[in-house]
Amino acid sequence: MSKVIKLKKGFNINLAGQAERKVAGEVMPETFALKPTDFWGIQRPKVLVKEGDTVKAGTPILFDKANPKVQFVAPVSGEVVEVVRGAKRKLLEIRILADKQLVYEEFPKLSASELSALPREEAVELLARSGVWPHLVQRPYGIIASPDVTPRAIFISTFDTHPLAPEYDFLLKGQERYFQAGIDMLKRLTDGPVHLGIHADAELSPVFADVKGATLHKFSGKHPAGNVGVQIHHIDPINKGDIVWTINPVGVVQIGKLLVDGRYDSSKLVALTGSELTTPQYIKTWSGAQVGKLIGNGVKAGELRYISGNVLTGTNVGREGYLGFHDNMVTVIPEGKYYDFLGWLKPTADKLSFHRSFGLLSFLRPNKPFVVDTNLQGEERAFVQTSSYGKVVPMDIMPEYLVKAIMAEDYDGMEALGIYEVIEEDLALCEFIDVSKHDFQAILREGLTLMQYS
């Protein structure tokens, strides 16, 4: 075990609505959806099914013509009821009316000894055609990993410090066998190490404590200490030309289920969180579940925002939308469509702010859970020069100058300022504290796209 890496920069957003550590039951909505918009890097999606087709869980329904080896598969079995397209026929969703009893495509089961003898090419082919490959994300750029590339290393963060985020030790309780099988497979994909980032201030879960074949690193600090990008920066930073992969623990378990059970099993625990839920809790469901059915009638009155994911990086999907491929939580908060008279000039202890000049009274109650809404407290304005951004990014980069380099399309500047080390989640706190109301995450994605295709 390595020494503890203590991160001093960051900011914890303490919100009301943390899910209670118990599973309320299993929820099987009528419809599920696979959304290409959940994945960066898909260039030319090709739909393999049409409305009325019957599919099994694990049946390929989509691939990218630019990366045809990687198949995107049905999360459940049933009938394809709708292929949803947007402007310019952009593919948005493939919706499936789920069977009451799921039927699975069958894949080969592999023992530990068989897996250890499996050639890398065959391991890649199995993962790519079975639907679990999209869990693997390439850094830099935060895109789906290419099967034709061998990464320098693979990184996994075993804890999440985003607001109201679920705890992986609870999500994966009792799934030690699957997690170990997933780690064994990941070792076949790289010539380097598999790194696990561990929370130094929490009890180590048996799922991660007894894992073999991975290097453990302890981290302590405020959010974004749980971001895998921050952990990569402090373990083995990414330089120009380097390629590493990341995967979250739930994805590792799904790989393990494929190997042990011989099927694509997208079932998982999902945390239902947020101040506007009457009973924040965990439920069992499947990837791509319809959000409104997961929540049911357990919401408070008023106009609400339904987020697949967390409040910093999640997607506003609405009550009729669907759970994202990578998301293990749904957050419900109030909409903020109102004018706040005097705004931040009013002395109050009910507003959460990083800046003490605005939210001084809130600092007198540091453990108070806050109820936040989507009100921006002002409009976009000129970029205010401030040193605050660097205080919430525990990396040796300068976020403010990086964003300005992106806006100026300064390629050399972007490279020198560390764009290869970050994706949207790493600068999400900058967006939260930004008094200029700039969309840091969208700007960063523009820069990443410029660098990727330059």
Q: Are 115 and 259 in contact (CB under 8 A)?
A: yes
Cα distances (Å, whole numbers) of residue 350 to 16, 182, 273, 354, 373: 12, 44, 20, 13, 12
pLDDT tens for the chain, 454 residues: list them.
468 999 999 999 999 999 999 999 999 999 999 999 999 989 999 999 999 999 999 999 999 999 999 999 999 999 999 999 999 999 999 999 999 999 999 999 999 999 999 999 999 999 999 999 999 999 999 999 999 999 999 999 999 999 999 999 999 999 999 999 999 999 999 999 999 999 999 888 899 988 999 999 999 999 999 999 999 999 999 999 999 999 999 999 999 999 999 999 999 999 999 999 999 999 999 999 999 999 999 999 999 999 999 999 999 999 999 999 999 999 999 998 776 666 655 666 667 777 765 555 566 666 788 888 888 777 777 777 778 899 999 999 999 999 999 999 999 999 999 999 999 999 999 999 988 888 999 999 999 999 999 8
Q: Would you state the CATH architecture of domain 267-364?
A: Beta Barrel (2.40)
- Phi/psi of residue 24, nearest 5 degrees: -75, -20
User: Mind listing the pLDDT tens digit for each residue in 205-238?
Assistant: 899 988 999 999 999 999 999 999 999 999 999 9
User: Mind listing the pLDDT tens digit for each residue in 401-433?
Assistant: 999 999 999 999 999 999 999 999 999 999 999
- Taking the C-alpha atoms of residue 421 and residue 243, their distance in angstroms, rounded to an integer, is 11
Q: Does 224 sit behind a cis peptide bond, omega within 30 degrees of 0 on the bond before it?
A: yes
Report domain extents, the chain. Answer: 4-261, 267-364, 389-452
Which residue's entry shows tokens 């503890």?
A: 4
